[in-house]
Amino acid sequence: MTAGRYAPSPSGDLHVGNLRTALLAWLFARSTGREFLLRVEDLDTGRSSREAEAGQLADLAAIGLDWDGTVVRQSERGIRYAAAIAELDVYECYCTRREILSAPSAPHAPEGAYPGTCRDLTEAERVVRRRERPAALRLRSSVHEFTVTDQLHGEHTGAVDDFVLRRGDGTYAYNLAVVVDDCAQGVDQVVRGDDLLSSAPRQAYLTSLLGGTPPTYAHVPLVLGPTGVRLAKRDGAVTLAQRGGPTVVLPEIAASLGLRGSTPQEMLGGFDPARLPREPWTLPVG
Protein backbone atom coordinates (compact mmCIF):
# COMPACT_ATOMS: atom_id res chain seq x y z
CA MET A 1 0.00 0.00 0.00
CA THR A 2 1.08 3.55 -0.73
CA ALA A 3 -0.68 6.47 0.87
CA GLY A 4 -0.83 10.15 1.58
CA ARG A 5 -2.24 11.53 4.78
CA TYR A 6 -3.56 14.48 6.71
CA ALA A 7 -2.72 14.65 10.40
CA PRO A 8 -4.34 17.46 12.38
CA SER A 9 -3.81 18.20 16.06
CA PRO A 10 -7.20 18.16 17.84
CA SER A 11 -6.73 21.33 19.86
CA GLY A 12 -9.65 23.28 18.38
CA ASP A 13 -11.56 23.98 15.19
CA LEU A 14 -9.75 23.76 11.87
CA HIS A 15 -9.31 27.11 10.14
CA VAL A 16 -9.33 27.82 6.42
CA GLY A 17 -5.58 27.28 6.17
CA ASN A 18 -5.90 23.81 7.71
CA LEU A 19 -8.78 22.94 5.37
CA ARG A 20 -6.83 24.19 2.34
CA THR A 21 -3.86 21.98 3.24
CA ALA A 22 -6.17 19.02 3.84
CA LEU A 23 -7.75 19.49 0.42
CA LEU A 24 -4.31 19.63 -1.20
CA ALA A 25 -3.16 16.50 0.63
CA TRP A 26 -6.31 14.72 -0.61
CA LEU A 27 -5.78 15.91 -4.20
CA PHE A 28 -2.11 14.88 -4.23
CA ALA A 29 -3.00 11.41 -2.91
CA ARG A 30 -6.05 10.73 -5.06
CA SER A 31 -4.43 12.07 -8.24
CA THR A 32 -1.55 9.61 -7.83
CA GLY A 33 -3.67 6.56 -7.01
CA ARG A 34 -2.73 6.52 -3.35
CA GLU A 35 -4.93 5.86 -0.38
CA PHE A 36 -5.69 8.87 1.79
CA LEU A 37 -5.36 8.39 5.55
CA LEU A 38 -6.33 10.47 8.55
CA ARG A 39 -4.20 10.48 11.69
CA VAL A 40 -4.94 12.46 14.84
CA GLU A 41 -1.78 13.90 16.37
CA ASP A 42 -2.98 14.03 19.98
CA LEU A 43 0.24 13.40 21.90
CA ASP A 44 -0.17 16.77 23.65
CA THR A 45 -2.94 15.56 25.95
CA GLY A 46 -3.17 18.93 27.68
CA ARG A 47 -4.40 20.59 24.47
CA SER A 48 -6.18 17.72 22.70
CA SER A 49 -9.79 16.66 23.09
CA ARG A 50 -12.13 14.13 21.54
CA GLU A 51 -14.68 16.92 21.07
CA ALA A 52 -12.24 18.91 18.94
CA GLU A 53 -11.33 15.75 17.01
CA ALA A 54 -14.97 15.05 16.20
CA GLY A 55 -15.47 18.62 15.01
CA GLN A 56 -12.41 18.48 12.78
CA LEU A 57 -13.46 15.21 11.15
CA ALA A 58 -16.94 16.62 10.58
CA ASP A 59 -15.50 19.72 8.87
CA LEU A 60 -13.28 17.63 6.60
CA ALA A 61 -16.27 15.52 5.58
CA ALA A 62 -18.37 18.67 5.09
CA ILE A 63 -16.00 20.00 2.41
CA GLY A 64 -16.19 16.67 0.59
CA LEU A 65 -13.05 14.85 1.72
CA ASP A 66 -13.14 11.10 2.30
CA TRP A 67 -10.48 8.83 3.72
CA ASP A 68 -9.52 5.18 3.78
CA GLY A 69 -9.59 2.93 6.82
CA THR A 70 -10.04 4.01 10.40
CA VAL A 71 -8.67 7.16 11.96
CA VAL A 72 -5.42 6.52 13.87
CA ARG A 73 -4.64 8.34 17.13
CA GLN A 74 -1.04 8.83 18.20
CA SER A 75 -2.03 8.66 21.87
CA GLU A 76 -2.78 4.94 21.34
CA ARG A 77 0.56 4.06 19.72
CA GLY A 78 3.08 4.43 22.53
CA ILE A 79 4.26 0.81 22.25
CA ARG A 80 5.37 1.44 18.65
CA TYR A 81 7.28 4.58 19.65
CA ALA A 82 9.06 2.82 22.50
CA ALA A 83 10.04 -0.01 20.16
CA ALA A 84 11.49 2.46 17.67
CA ILE A 85 13.57 4.18 20.34
CA ALA A 86 14.97 0.79 21.34
CA GLU A 87 16.40 0.46 17.81
CA LEU A 88 18.19 3.81 17.90
CA ASP A 89 21.35 5.21 19.47
CA VAL A 90 20.02 7.61 22.08
CA TYR A 91 21.27 9.34 25.20
CA GLU A 92 19.77 11.08 28.20
CA CYS A 93 19.56 14.88 28.19
CA TYR A 94 18.81 17.06 31.20
CA CYS A 95 19.01 20.50 29.58
CA THR A 96 16.20 23.01 29.83
CA ARG A 97 15.15 25.08 26.84
CA ARG A 98 16.72 28.14 28.43
CA GLU A 99 20.03 26.33 28.92
CA ILE A 100 20.06 25.22 25.29
CA LEU A 101 19.38 28.72 23.96
CA SER A 102 22.06 30.27 26.16
CA ALA A 103 24.74 27.64 25.44
CA PRO A 104 27.42 28.35 22.81
CA SER A 105 26.42 26.79 19.48
CA ALA A 106 28.66 24.56 17.43
CA PRO A 107 30.30 26.24 14.43
CA HIS A 108 27.87 26.71 11.52
CA ALA A 109 24.98 25.24 13.53
CA PRO A 110 21.64 27.02 13.10
CA GLU A 111 20.22 29.03 15.98
CA GLY A 112 18.48 26.78 18.51
CA ALA A 113 20.30 23.61 17.43
CA TYR A 114 21.22 21.37 20.32
CA PRO A 115 24.91 22.00 21.21
CA GLY A 116 25.57 18.48 22.53
CA THR A 117 25.84 19.44 26.21
CA CYS A 118 24.78 16.01 27.53
CA ARG A 119 26.11 13.90 24.67
CA ASP A 120 29.30 12.69 26.37
CA LEU A 121 28.45 12.78 30.06
CA THR A 122 29.91 9.98 32.14
CA GLU A 123 27.58 7.58 33.92
CA ALA A 124 28.56 9.20 37.23
CA GLU A 125 27.57 12.61 35.85
CA ARG A 126 24.28 11.20 34.62
CA VAL A 127 23.50 9.81 38.08
CA VAL A 128 23.91 13.30 39.52
CA ARG A 129 21.84 14.95 36.81
CA ARG A 130 18.99 12.44 37.20
CA ARG A 131 18.48 13.74 40.73
CA GLU A 132 17.94 17.24 39.35
CA ARG A 133 15.27 16.57 36.72
CA PRO A 134 13.82 13.78 34.55
CA ALA A 135 15.82 13.04 31.43
CA ALA A 136 14.68 13.53 27.88
CA LEU A 137 16.01 11.12 25.25
CA ARG A 138 17.89 12.50 22.27
CA LEU A 139 19.01 10.82 19.08
CA ARG A 140 22.78 10.56 18.76
CA SER A 141 22.95 11.77 15.19
CA SER A 142 25.86 10.83 12.96
CA VAL A 143 25.18 13.56 10.38
CA HIS A 144 24.92 17.35 10.56
CA GLU A 145 22.61 17.80 7.60
CA PHE A 146 20.33 15.83 5.31
CA THR A 147 18.78 16.52 1.90
CA VAL A 148 15.19 15.93 0.85
CA THR A 149 13.45 16.53 -2.46
CA ASP A 150 10.25 18.54 -2.44
CA GLN A 151 7.82 18.78 -5.36
CA LEU A 152 7.38 22.52 -4.89
CA HIS A 153 10.74 23.56 -3.42
CA GLY A 154 13.18 21.22 -5.16
CA GLU A 155 16.17 19.92 -3.19
CA HIS A 156 16.29 21.19 0.38
CA THR A 157 19.23 20.56 2.68
CA GLY A 158 18.66 21.20 6.36
CA ALA A 159 20.47 20.82 9.64
CA VAL A 160 20.16 17.66 11.70
CA ASP A 161 21.14 17.88 15.36
CA ASP A 162 20.65 15.50 18.28
CA PHE A 163 16.92 16.10 18.43
CA VAL A 164 14.55 14.96 21.17
CA LEU A 165 12.71 11.65 20.73
CA ARG A 166 11.03 11.54 24.12
CA ARG A 167 10.53 14.49 26.44
CA GLY A 168 11.41 14.54 30.10
CA ASP A 169 7.75 14.09 31.05
CA GLY A 170 7.63 10.86 29.03
CA THR A 171 5.74 12.29 26.05
CA TYR A 172 7.01 11.06 22.71
CA ALA A 173 8.20 13.84 20.42
CA TYR A 174 6.48 14.79 17.19
CA ASN A 175 9.60 14.11 15.11
CA LEU A 176 9.64 10.50 16.29
CA ALA A 177 5.90 9.80 16.22
CA VAL A 178 5.31 11.15 12.73
CA VAL A 179 8.12 9.04 11.28
CA VAL A 180 7.10 5.83 13.06
CA ASP A 181 3.48 6.29 12.01
CA ASP A 182 4.28 7.12 8.38
CA CYS A 183 6.47 4.03 8.11
CA ALA A 184 3.88 1.78 9.77
CA GLN A 185 1.00 3.07 7.64
CA GLY A 186 2.76 2.96 4.28
CA VAL A 187 2.72 6.74 3.90
CA ASP A 188 5.13 7.60 1.10
CA GLN A 189 3.73 11.05 0.27
CA VAL A 190 3.66 13.91 2.76
CA VAL A 191 1.78 17.12 1.91
CA ARG A 192 1.74 19.82 4.57
CA GLY A 193 2.37 23.52 5.19
CA ASP A 194 5.72 24.93 4.14
CA ASP A 195 6.41 26.08 7.69
CA LEU A 196 7.33 22.43 8.31
CA LEU A 197 9.89 22.19 5.50
CA SER A 198 12.74 22.76 7.94
CA SER A 199 11.74 19.63 9.90
CA ALA A 200 11.76 17.35 6.84
CA PRO A 201 15.54 16.65 6.84
CA ARG A 202 15.42 15.46 10.45
CA GLN A 203 12.42 13.25 9.79
CA ALA A 204 13.80 11.83 6.55
CA TYR A 205 17.11 11.03 8.29
CA LEU A 206 15.27 9.29 11.13
CA THR A 207 13.21 7.35 8.58
CA SER A 208 16.43 6.04 7.04
CA LEU A 209 17.78 5.01 10.44
CA LEU A 210 14.62 2.98 11.07
CA GLY A 211 15.06 1.16 7.77
CA GLY A 212 12.44 3.06 5.80
CA THR A 213 12.54 5.12 2.63
CA PRO A 214 11.86 8.84 3.12
CA PRO A 215 8.55 9.92 1.58
CA THR A 216 8.10 12.34 -1.27
CA TYR A 217 7.32 15.79 0.07
CA ALA A 218 5.19 18.71 -1.04
CA HIS A 219 5.29 21.64 1.36
CA VAL A 220 2.50 23.95 0.29
CA PRO A 221 2.21 27.72 0.91
CA LEU A 222 0.44 28.88 4.04
CA VAL A 223 -2.66 31.00 4.38
CA LEU A 224 -2.00 34.39 5.97
CA GLY A 225 -4.23 36.60 8.06
CA PRO A 226 -4.94 40.28 7.35
CA THR A 227 -1.73 41.39 9.07
CA GLY A 228 0.42 39.21 6.80
CA VAL A 229 1.34 36.58 9.37
CA ARG A 230 0.24 32.96 9.57
CA LEU A 231 -3.53 32.63 9.88
CA ALA A 232 -4.79 32.23 13.45
CA LYS A 233 -8.10 32.19 15.26
CA ARG A 234 -7.52 35.77 16.44
CA ASP A 235 -7.95 36.88 12.81
CA GLY A 236 -11.74 36.70 13.03
CA ALA A 237 -13.97 34.58 10.81
CA VAL A 238 -11.52 31.84 9.89
CA THR A 239 -13.31 28.53 10.58
CA LEU A 240 -15.77 26.72 8.35
CA ALA A 241 -18.78 27.68 10.47
CA GLN A 242 -17.69 31.29 10.93
CA ARG A 243 -17.30 31.89 7.20
CA GLY A 244 -20.66 30.44 6.22
CA GLY A 245 -20.00 26.74 5.71
CA PRO A 246 -18.62 24.65 2.84
CA THR A 247 -20.59 26.43 0.07
CA VAL A 248 -18.65 29.60 0.90
CA VAL A 249 -15.28 28.24 2.01
CA LEU A 250 -14.67 25.58 -0.65
CA PRO A 251 -15.03 28.04 -3.58
CA GLU A 252 -12.70 30.45 -1.74
CA ILE A 253 -10.06 27.76 -1.36
CA ALA A 254 -10.47 26.54 -4.93
CA ALA A 255 -10.07 30.06 -6.33
CA SER A 256 -6.92 30.60 -4.26
CA LEU A 257 -5.41 27.49 -5.86
CA GLY A 258 -6.61 28.10 -9.42
CA LEU A 259 -8.83 25.01 -9.28
CA ARG A 260 -12.19 24.50 -10.95
CA GLY A 261 -15.12 22.54 -9.61
CA SER A 262 -17.58 22.72 -6.77
CA THR A 263 -16.39 19.52 -5.05
CA PRO A 264 -12.98 17.96 -4.42
CA GLN A 265 -13.89 15.17 -6.86
CA GLU A 266 -14.59 17.71 -9.60
CA MET A 267 -11.30 19.52 -8.87
CA LEU A 268 -9.37 16.29 -9.20
CA GLY A 269 -9.63 16.12 -12.99
CA GLY A 270 -7.75 19.37 -13.56
CA PHE A 271 -5.34 19.09 -10.65
CA ASP A 272 -1.71 19.70 -11.60
CA PRO A 273 0.86 20.28 -8.82
CA ALA A 274 3.11 22.18 -11.25
CA ARG A 275 0.45 24.86 -11.59
CA LEU A 276 -0.07 25.45 -7.88
CA PRO A 277 0.80 28.90 -6.52
CA ARG A 278 4.13 29.17 -4.75
CA GLU A 279 3.27 32.23 -2.68
CA PRO A 280 1.12 32.44 0.49
CA TRP A 281 -2.53 33.35 0.16
CA THR A 282 -3.95 36.15 2.30
CA LEU A 283 -7.45 35.23 3.42
CA PRO A 284 -9.97 37.96 2.60
CA VAL A 285 -11.65 39.51 5.62
CA GLY A 286 -14.85 37.55 6.22
Q: What digits encode the pLDDT tens for the residues 66-117?
A: 999 999 999 999 999 999 999 999 999 999 888 888 777 655 566 678 999 9
One domain, residues 56 and 85: no
Total structural domains in the chain? 2
Any known ligand binding at 95? yes
Q: Is residue 57 part of a domain?
A: yes
- Whole-number Å distance between alpha carbons of 17 and 131: 44
Rounded to a whole number of angstroms, the distance between the first and last alpha carbons of the chain is 41
Q: What is the pLDDT of residue 271?
A: 96
Any known ligand binding at 5? yes
Q: Can you state the percent helix, strand and coil of the chain, rounding each to 5?
A: 40, 20, 45
Q: Is residue 41 part of a domain?
A: yes
One domain, residues 17 and 145: no
One domain, residues 154 and 123: yes
Any known ligand binding at 75? no
Q: What is the pLDDT of residue 103?
A: 76
Any known ligand binding at 192? yes
One domain, residues 91 and 62: no
One domain, residues 104 and 207: yes
Q: What is the pLDDT of residue 235?
A: 85
One domain, residues 133 and 116: yes
Q: Within 10 Å of residue 167's Cβ, how many Cβ atoms?
A: 15
One domain, residues 102 and 200: yes
**Amino acid (1-letter code) at residue 208:** S
Q: Is residue 189 part of a domain?
A: no
pTM for this predicted structure: 0.94
One domain, residues 98 and 53: no
- Whole-number Å distance between alpha carbons of 87 and 143: 17
DSSP structure class, residue 4:
E
One domain, residues 180 and 84: yes
Residues 6+ apart with CB under 8 A from 51: none
**Looking at residue 61, which CATH number applies to its domain?**
3.40.50.620
Domain region containing 37: 3-75+221-282
In Å, what is the CA distance from 128 to each residue of 131, 212, 280? Answer: 6, 37, 49
One domain, residues 230 and 263: yes
- The answer to whether 163 touches 140, Cβ cutoff 8 Å, is no
Any known ligand binding at 114? yes
DSSP structure class, residue 162:
-
Any known ligand binding at 41? yes
Q: Is residue 190 part of a domain?
A: no
Residues listed for the chain: 286
Any known ligand binding at 20? no
Residues of the chain with pLDDT under 70: 105-111, 286
Q: Is residue 105 part of a domain?
A: yes
Q: How far is CA 48 from the centre of its chain?
A: 16
One domain, residues 15 and 132: no
Any known ligand binding at 93? yes
Any known ligand binding at 8? yes
Q: Is residue 174 part of a domain?
A: yes
One domain, residues 172 and 229: no
Any known ligand binding at 6? yes
